[in-house]
Amino acid sequence: MNSCKFVSESNLPTKFGDFKISAFEEPNGKDHLALTIGNIHEQDIVMCRVHSECLTGDALHSLRCDCGPQLQAALEMLAQNQSGILLYLRQEGRGIGLVNKIRAYALQDQGHDTVEANELLGFPADLREYNICLDILEHFQIFKVNLLTNNPKKVTALEEVGINVVKRTPIHEGENERNKNYLETKRDKMGHLS
């Protein structure tokens, strides 16, 4: 397992509240972020969102997915809770990268769903890895989490790398007419809970 090392930390005021942003780097040069709010060290169970990068949804406000609204909802939930952590993992397009994600979009425009598009490009439905999450959470001395997710496979993947997920809280945001098929595919083919 490659260890992810802490690099630097700074203040990050947002429209949701005042967070701290911490940078982490893998030995291969890939970097990841953690946003924390409140005194997480005083919490036995820390509210946590593990969010994989989605440039099109997070920054460009694409309606093809629900990523941007889920990211914003998670930050809002952490701020309202006055404590928690968001891990922002740099694994665009379920791990296939930005360019391949746009290729997958083109296949979706032709009628394929998101799983079929990845498979037609020669990838599995989901290439994301979560072992780096353990390193980041251990840096903050977080040992139990309340995970903000609709994805039971993410809970399993985190538990498999040694993270104690004691609770799962659903996070429902971002459904619209343009991403209806995408969300149905996540539910029907990838096991996401509604």
Catalytic residues: 126, 128
One-letter amino acid at 93 equals G
For the chain, count helices (H), then strands (E).
6, 7
Give the three-class secondary structure for 57. helix
Give the three-class secondary structure for 148. strand
- DSSP code at position 2: P
Strand partners, 165: 145
Q: How far apart are CA 168 and CA 116, in angstroms?
A: 28
Q: How far apart are CA 194 and CA 48, in angstroms?
A: 19
Closest CA to 48 of 14, 89, 13: 89
